[in-house]
Structure 1
Amino acid sequence: MAEDIDSRFRSPEAYELARLALEQLESQRVWPTPVNYELWSHVIAEPNGPLARELERIMVSGEPITDDLAEHLASTYLPKGRLSEQIRDTGQALSRELATAEQAIRSAHETSETFSTRLEETSRTLKKDPSSSALQGVVANLTDATREMQAQNASVERALAASTSEVAMLREQLEEIRKEAATDPLTRLANRRAFDERIEQARAEADTKGDFFCLVLLDIDHFKKFNDTWGHQTGDQVLRYVASVIRKRVLPPRFAARFGGEEFAIILPGDSLFDASPLVNSILKDVSASSIRRRSTNDNLGIITLSAGIAGFRAGDTVHDLIERADSSLYKAKRRGRNRLVVEGDA
């Protein structure tokens, strides 16, 4: 059965599966996160399967589909590692549908214009030198046929235009799903998978073009103690706060991600170690500029500080090499008292 489902995700039926999945998510007021999209896609592909029955039970009971519940369902009922591939395949299928629809519109329009032009030329020629009344009657009939064909083509064009609009809408929705798949849901920064892809891309470009870039790793100071004291929900509040500061400071083509836990990463293409330092120091300063309060009780949580380390790309570096040097600089900042930046090579 799993092979049958896989083949449907890779066939032309992917377009219809995507449309139905998004329709159901909307009708049931379930937010179309990557995991929810994957769950509903599998329900449509296997409507009588165990996942479909469990989701039906949950919806009937009125239990909300939270992120935690969706993750639990995915880990219980779905194979691992399929989401990004399904999204990619579905997106490719929709792209093909859109290209086909656009081509059909152009072809229908061009055929109609060409046929009409030729018949008009033939009619003018016969008017100048008619060979018989019967032949003129044939031309008149063909002219009527042309009008009918033009009307039919106009109808086809309207239908194809509507199809194109629908496919374009689905492509936009799938693009949002792709973005969600690359985004950390808590901080709204890029997630670790997106970071891994981006830094590998930066390394490859640096190797081939001789470009330079820096990697920054930042860590929230004493976060475990803070989390244990105030609880995970307040810890999440702090993570969102730090992420908001990073997001304001790090603008494209620079790239920020949640690296894991309370750690963040920034890729700075084209920046030297000297250029990168002021940006990182401004983030540290902004984060520690004021104390924050616990949202649920208004308790003063004190000042949040960060430690940071920077490493610059060297010819022949692997991603592991670069991360290791940035991490080493980060831990030097921790050992030197925290709330500071250390640049690799800084004695």
Structure 2
Amino acid sequence: MRPKATVVLDGYGVLESLRWHDHALWFCDLAHGTVHRWDTVGEPETVLEVPGRAGGLGWLPDGRMLVVSMDGHCVYRQERDGSLVVHADLQGIAGGPVNDMLVDRQGRAYVGNFGFDYHGFIRRQPNSMLYAPPGPPSTPLACFSPEGELLGLSEPLMFPNGLFLLDEGQATDDGPVLLVAETLAMRLTALPVLPDGRLGPPRPWAPLIPSALWKSLNHPGLLGRITRRVSALLDHPAIAERSASPIAPDGIAPGRDGTAWVANALRGECVRVGPGGRILDRVATSRRTLCCLVAGPDGNTLYAATTPTDDPERGAELNGARLEAYVLPS
């Protein structure tokens, strides 16, 4: 039987972007546009309201916070006096809402985006119909300097979402490696970080859908139409919860020994994945999982952001998002 996380916070819209910073857990509520800080005891505090819905979080080396405005297509910087100023502009880059963000130790920000109006599409059609040829649009990750200047764009990716830097043992001759969740491609992809901060060519790191199913889902003929319709039926929560595959990676976080914890947006679980896609551990959550992080005062707690819906409009009405936690065995 899979271990199960415990609900520790409840009553939010749609939680995302779990971060451990300054001895506390930080997170965004993208349905209500707020940023929260929780020291893991007592009640969380709301520290910021972000115009255009709060998304990814990070901090510059001098301690100033960066936060994504999803619908504002920018990254804000919070100054010492608490005011927000535009740090980086993605108006000409993002084909949909701006999404998750990683800020590295040098203060460079790597920022993803949906690539299109994802929620507008799935309000009209099942998610599986996205794969009817030509399939969902691809879009790049943007890299910004610590001053907010655009350094470059990655090659196009399919809904780049959660991301983190792999440990030094998996670095290439070119330098560190950025791992990104391509949610709609159902895979984790590695991109080398070049000396100037730009991103090199992507390479597969972990497929999270059987190759035969992926080919069928994208097939332009009768096989594809049948596969997409069957997949739409299997999207029902009661059925999806009983399945182990595929995995749609949303937020991701470093695991032990060069592995990755993956928040599965299709069902209630976090999955630890090794290179090549080998499934090493599964922790059950109460609802679909959008983000995960191993952190806490002792650094051994798996936190998971769960929700009955990732639609921000519906999430703001339901306020059913939760933060769940599971203490990992030593």
Which category of TM-score, normalised to the shorter sequence, fits these structures?
Answer: under 0.3
TM-score, structure 1 normalization: 0.21
TM-score, structure 2 normalization: 0.22
Relative to total residues, which structure has the larger strand share, 1 or 2? 2
Q: Which has the larger radius of gyration?
A: 1
Relative to total residues, which structure has the larger helix share, 1 or 2? 1
Greater relative CO, 1 or 2 (CA 8 Å, sep 6+)? 2
